[in-house]
């Protein structure tokens, strides 16, 4: 059990680093090369807005993934505990 938790932590950290690097490549490099003009053109360029929305969606899903992944890979009794934790209802019928 501990090995899988360590592996998940490594994978989440790697995914976060990849998202940060892609955000830097999308916003940081143009800003370093062109200055504030790169940020001023963001309002006009739809392709950059779509890429920014995808980066935000990836970051949000990375944050929410531990909550959903534990329920998906668990057996029945752990799923019940997971559901009780999310809903706040502690007690079984």
Kindly report, residue by residue over 3-20, the tens digit of the pLDDT: 666 777 788 888 888 888
pLDDT, tens digit, 9 for 90 and up, residues 45-69: 888 888 888 888 988 888 877 766 6
Do 55 and 19 touch, CB atoms closer than 8 A?
yes
> How many separate domains does the chain show?
1
> What is the sign, positive or negative, of the torsion defined by CA atoms of 23, 54, 70, 92?
positive
pLDDT band at 76 (very low <50, low <70, confident <90, very high): low
Whether residue 80 lies inside any domain: the answer is: yes
What is the domain extent for residue 55?
A: 2-87
Whether residue 93 lies inside any domain: the answer is: no
d(Cα 16, Cα 60) in Å, to the nearest integer?
11
The per-residue pLDDT for 13 is 87
Whether residue 78 lies inside any domain: the answer is: yes
């Amino acid at each position: 059990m501990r090995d899988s938790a360590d592996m998940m932590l490594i994978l989440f950290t790697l995914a976060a680093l990849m998202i940060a690097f892609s955000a830097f490549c999308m916003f940081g490099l143009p800003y370093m090369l062109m200055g504030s003009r790169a940020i001023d053109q963001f309002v006009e360029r739809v392709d950059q807005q779509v890429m920014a929305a995808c980066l935000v969606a990836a970051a949000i899903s990375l944050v929410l993934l531990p909550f959903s992944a534990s329920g998906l890979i668990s057996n029945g009794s752990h799923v019940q505990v997971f559901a009780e934790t999310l809903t706040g209802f502690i007690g079984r019928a």
